[in-house]
Amino acid sequence: MSDLLSVCVVGLGRIGLPLAVQCASKGLSVTGCDIDTEIVETVNEGRCPYADEEGLTEGIAAAYAAGRLKATTDTAAAVQSCRVVLIVVPVGLTAENHADFAALDSAAQAIGRGLRPDTLVILETTVPAGTTRRRLGPILESSGLRVGRDLFLAYSPERVFVGRVLSDLRRYPKVVGGVDEASAQRAVGFYERALDAPVLRVAGCETAELVKLAETTYRDVNIALANELAQVADQHGVDVTEVIDAANSQPFSHIHQPGVGVGGHCIPVYPRFLLERAPNARLPRAARDINDGMARYAVDKLAAALGGLEGKTVLILGLAYRPDVKEAAHSSAFLLARQLSAAGARVLVHDPQFAAAEIAALGLEAPSTFPPAHVDALVVQALHKEYVDLDLAAFAGCRVVLDGRNALSREAVESVGMQYLGIGR
């Protein structure tokens, strides 16, 4: 595959940049493209913009030192000098919960301005099924080139976990589907050159697109089951964590854990992509409703324990959607804050990963000191390592701790005279 040694990665976010580093580690010449000038400048200095991404700081330094990684804001120029283009720009949700293609369309138009014949373009962003062939292809063809004649086009979903992307790129099979046979063969050959993981070819790009939607929707539905079991366990006065652990001792049971909601770029979003092309799919829609409803369920439990929330001060621990990663996309903290405010509480949000100004920019209030001078309750939303051995006795006035991730010791909470509330416990 000597003709595929020059690679352009469009989108240097938390998935795209590690992918660029992975390609560079295999001896490929990589140009990363992004509209964020700060990220581009950081990469061009050999530094890492995502310090909490395992191995990425070292990977960028090595690729930079070897002269295999550079970055630019000029996507068209970068594409013109490359034979492989990987697209890893975000596709999120609109206010109406439809796929927001603005970033992808803009990137595709820029790519089209630089395309040369015989270029391989691979979309890695998670999208509704049919997007690669029916949306991306026509935009690229605005260049005057034709998919299937002048261009190779394929889809291969990213399947990695933020915080360990490089590790996941080495072990998870790479699913690949092309718009035609030649595109599929080219894409498979590229990934066999660029990755260490096995490559799993599927029938076509629509199959590959649906693979990612199936993976993420499965997780959302599984978590919804766990959340419903938690509510049943509350009704019966049993501990759902004990129920799930015992049930999962049977090899066919793989129940996830309940909580106050599901956050991140993937699970709250991609089932919506599935529903966009399959509006009559009942289970994914029900799962979304159940999981988004857990914040209300948790706040109702807290209100019952405190005799109402009007005038109470509640501190949410953790803005991030999961522990020890500075990412707040679709975090349950927002749903919790909304429900608490609607019930009349003053809501404070603390997160060691975010500065007070960053929390304020997201429409939330950070405490002026930590611990605050007074709180009536704590809600554990993301158990960062800084919270594991938190001195609960330092929170003056706190009467109740709502453990939104079932991660704390009931005994530790009760030993300082506070009431412990869990989800299904």
Q: How far apart are CA 62 and CA 49, in angstroms?
A: 15
Strand partners, 346: 313
Q: Give residues with Cβ within 8 angstroms of 257, minimum separation 6.
A: 223, 226, 241, 244, 405, 406
Q: Give residues with Cβ within 8 angstroms of 53, minimum separation 6.
A: 14, 18, 162, 163, 165, 166
Q: Pinpoint the alpha helices (H) of 12-124.
A: 16-25, 37-44, 56-65, 75-80, 102-114
Give kind and range of the element (H or E) at residue 155.
strand 152-155
Catalytic residue among 8, 33, 48, 212: 212
Please, what's the largest Cα pairwise distance for the chain?
A: 72
Q: What are phi and psi of 50, to 5 degrees?
A: -125, 80
The 3-state secondary structure of 66-91 reads CCCEEEECCHHHHHHCCCEEEECCCC
Q: Give residues with Cβ within 8 angstroms of 415, minimum separation 6.
A: none
Yes or no: say if 85 and 119 are a contact pair by the CB < 8 Å rule: yes
DSSP for residue 142: G
Site of tokens 């697109």: 209
Q: How far apart are CA 191 and CA 135, in angstroms?
A: 23
Q: Which two tokens stand for residue 267?
A: 């699970």
Strand partners, 314: 347, 377
- How far are the Cα atoms of 7, 10, 47, 104, 206 from residue 86, in angstroms, in the given order? 8, 6, 22, 12, 17
For residue 52, the one-letter residue type is D
Tell me which residue of 327, 206, 332 sits closest to 274, measured CA to CA: 206
Catalytic residue among 266, 312, 326, 385: 266
Is residue 266 flagged as an active site residue?
yes
Give the full edge-to-edge strand order of the sheet including 152-155: 69-72, 29-33, 6-10, 84-87, 120-123, 152-155, 174-178, 199-201
Is residue 312 flagged as an active site residue?
no
**Which residues are tagged catalytic?**
212, 266
